Chains A and B, each alone.
Chain A
């Protein structure tokens, strides 16, 4: 029986960032007594939710082996549109949906340029970012007007008991994206195209449709992020998306998704967003200023990228080795061999070699 192909998502790759989040939370609790209060945990969860939601699209396109650099002004355009529509008296859910459609539509243009015209994703989305910047400036005439519509404000800032709505939204989206990636033809297709585009084409996958759809979802996620940011700050302003381009890529990388495509998952990105938020919160608690935060941010990306790309992908670290290193779960993780595996590893079962004839 041929060996089952290795699944796209290895448990250890998902476990490592979450273990680090737990470690960071413990460190935070040691540093500051109120760190694990439900209030602070919730506020960290909602902070992580914004970058997490924006990074949905970046995760999808990086899994494809592409990149989306149009995120900053996609966020900003969606933000000024949401606030501008409110200013013009269009603050209904339908207008919100219209902004989301515009986001998806711009993603569609990105995807068509990349999939049909074979423009490099970096250049296509870079050019699109510039175009969107122009549209944003023309729409706002240099200064954004309006406020967040009431229900967007509710979505961003209201709490359900001690749970922020935006965190709930993020959890729902995380589950949805994870299920789509793991169980739908589209999701599996993203991994296939990211691993080997040519093979996917020859294997009959709708490669171009997969690419276009992924970039559409990326535009949609960025637009949603922009709308939520308006709800959070109450208004839109120019340049509000600039701060999100590098973090959106960074949390994907910290989570362990390969930028060459085909390896990783959104669950990991969510962990990356949580990790960077918790660490930033610790740094703020111990009064590290902006410069120190920037330097440590870079250092964390480097360490995690090195760890993910070198240690885990080369098999130096596995769930089993982690467990053995910690000395716990030892009984659980003893290698249990199936019959096939035992047959494939004959050294242990074969009798000692007879050397008399040699």
Chain B
């Protein structure tokens, strides 16, 4: 496999297995919340699944995009504004009768936005936090030119392709499953995914091992922009219109989902599938609180506590894993 070209084979399994262990915590959280939901609600049918998965899908896409960048030890604060930009682009172009073209243009715009971020971070050497903060303002400005006020329409196929059902299974559940599997394949089976984790682990070591770090980093930002654009398109399908403020809430929520999903903000350790699970967990939290009869106001408190708690759990988990690994293989250098 060409995956081996960049990184020595032996160095990989420990670090990657470790990242997967952290996503199991997110899976456990999803399972617990799911059971809590069923116990509280009494039943779980298509309608309930539809509500939760429609909540989770755009957040999951945004979180997956954010994960690419966080894995490189960066951060992308332009996620929300790229979502907005894609959302209004689709709504306006569909309104003018160019729905298919609108979807393609929105994806291209998202990729271009990511490319711009990647180029600025790589070549102007501006810190990712500042670079994406600045570009997010630029993207919001462009979105306001495209569509100053909420409006536009969306064709039926886009709504059924995001908010519809196949038999009794919501389409969004299928997309979420696809995202989990695709994330698994991408990070474990492709050179890009493995180089991405290597870059986040140590840029200088990756460079020494012959990885084109600049290209990997730029690709990570392009992937982030593309995923955010997909989230914006999905939101257009769900709300059946465009809104120049729709992306605002997704920035901090996407980072929260990434953290719950077990990705380390220090880079190099994390999984795309974990972030999808993290987004599902956050969507389930509000659903569980809703069926428990608690005001949705409490969802913010619980979400905040879960984000901080998940990070603490992951920290304890990594400490335990490092101790165990040192016991088993004291001779090998185990990354702390």
Contact = CB atoms under 8 A, between A and B. Distances in A.
Interface stretch (A9-17, A33-41, A127-135, A149-157): A127-135
Interface stretch (B18-26, B38-46, B296-304): B296-304
B148 A309 contact: no
B196 interface: no
Given A126-B252, A135-B301, A298 B311 contact: no
B304 A298 contact: no
Which bracket fits the contact residues of B? 35 or more
A138 interface: yes
A297 B133 CA distance: 10
B145 interface: yes
A120 B124 contact: no
Secondary structure at the A interface, as helix, strand, loop or mixed, is: helix
B136 A246 contact: yes
Contact of B298 (A123, A134, A289, A298): A134
A222 interface: no
B174 interface: no
Contact of A291 (B136, B148, B255, B295): B148
B209 interface: no
Interface in A108-142: 113, 117-120, 122-124, 126-135, 137-138, 142
A301 B141 contact: no
A67 B124 CA distance: 22
Nearest to A140: B297
Contact of B256 (A130, A296, A299): A130
B256 A295 contact: no
Interface string B257-298: 001000001100000000000000000000000000001011
Contact of A137 (B135, B141, B297, B308): B297
A298 B130 contact: no
B300 A259 contact: no
Given A138-B295, A309-B125, A124 B308 contact: yes
A298 B138 contact: yes
A305 B130 contact: yes
B138 A134 contact: no
Given A249-B133, A302-B134, A295 B125 contact: no
Given A123-B307, A123-B311, A130 B300 contact: yes
Nearest 3 CB-CB pairs, A to B? Answer: A294-B141, A134-B300, A130-B304
23 contacts: A119-B308, A119-B311, A119-B312, A123-B265, A126-B252, A130-B300, A131-B304, A133-B300, A134-B302, A134-B303, A246-B137, A249-B130, A290-B144, A291-B143, A291-B144, A291-B145, A294-B138, A295-B141, A298-B137, A301-B130, A302-B120, A309-B125, A310-B124
Given A127-B305, A134-B302, 20 more contacts: A120-B266, A126-B255, A126-B256, A126-B304, A127-B304, A128-B308, A130-B304, A131-B305, A133-B304, A249-B130, A250-B134, A253-B133, A289-B144, A294-B140, A295-B141, A297-B134, A298-B134, A298-B135, A305-B127, A309-B125
Interface of B: 75, 77, 120, 124-127, 129-131, 133-145, 148, 248, 252, 255-256, 259, 265-266, 295, 297-305, 307-308, 311-312, 315
